[in-house]
Structure 1
Amino acid sequence: MPQNFVPFLKENARKDMIEELNARLADTIDLANAVKQAHWNLKGTGFIGVHELLDDVAEHLREGSDLMAERVVMMGGLAQGTSQTVATKSTLKAYPTDIIDLSEHVAQLVDRFNTYTVTLRKGIEAADEAGDEDTADLFTEVSRTAEKDAWFIGSNSAKAA
């Protein structure tokens, strides 16, 4: 079993945080894949700006997933980020693969970001209850970035409101 570098947490709290981190990891990877799906396929007025923005957003999500996965391992757990795990564990709706309209992609992404930030806030609450301030801070950092990215994405279309 991997070594636990977070010895101050009680065993049940540590296990709960590993579970919560892996759950949010699945959502984060799923959302990053949805962002790339939109990035590759969107067309319409303002294409290049949104196309480039989505590359930055995907990178932010990859950074967040890396933080989560590393925290899991620090706690003595195993990060669960395979595509098979993500497909079964993500709480996000499946992203449509048949749309190209920029405004539709924007609306779909904003909807998923809203769901994602709600689950991150629940993760913050769970970490607070477990006495794990570092995980709460990690989720807060990821949430703050996700909310800002959702705002940037949503500002590209009146339909996203």
Structure 2
Amino acid sequence: MTSTQLDHLAAAALQDALIDVAELASQARQAHWNVRGATFLPMHRWLDELAETLRAHADTLAERITTLGGWPDACSETLSARNTLESLPSGRLTTSQALTAMETGLERIATVVTSWLRSPAMGDDPVTADLLTSLCRDLQAQQWLARAQQ
């Protein structure tokens, strides 16, 4: 495979990750506004931190896509049409509902990113592999925080 083909493959994988990461950041913000329950305050704060962490990763993913010659797309229409996450219920959310939704989304993205990291093509692009490793590390850490609160 040529260098250009590998760049396109990596950019496509990063685009898929960008879509789900941006969607989960949006869901975390939505949950942040609508969560209620006995552990409201720590949950409210954690969801805010989670949204910011995911937004930072979305920015890094988008910049790498551009570096590889692609055009990042996280507009609302794209997120709606192409994300692979379950929809977050609208309205009031219990802390349990919010935790379950975030943990499920984090696990989904981490599983996909881990599979890309195991792909032979990632061995030829250590910069993208490093970026995805960092993303996966943060996703798994946040997943642990979600589980620890239940």
- Report the TM-score when normalising by structure 1: 0.86
Please state if 1:142 is matched with 2:135: yes
Does the aligned pair in 1 maintain the 2:11–2:70 contact within 8 Å? yes
RMSD, aligned α-carbons? 1.5
Alignment of 1:1-161 (within 5 A): 10-126=3-119, 128-129=121-122, 131-157=124-150
Structure with the higher fraction of residues in helix conformation: 2
Instruction: Tell me the matched-pair count.
Output: 149
3-state SS of paired residue (1:92): coil
- Contact 1:99–1:105 (CA under 8 A) maintained in structure 2: no
Contact 2:10 2:122 in 1 (8 A): no
**Structure 2: segments with no counterpart, 5+ residues:** none
Report the residue type matching 2:31 in the other structure: A
> What are structure 1's unaligned runs of at least 5 residues?
1-8
Cα deviation digits, residues 100-154 of structure 1 (max 9, x gap): 2111211121111111110111232237446111111101101101111111122
Q: 1:152 to 1:83 in 2, by over 3 A?
A: same
Identity of aligned residues (%): 26
Task: Write the distance in 2 (CA, Å) between the matches of 1:62 and 1:33.
Answer: 9
TM-score after normalising by structure 2: 0.92
Deviating 4+ runs (over 3 angstroms)? 126-130
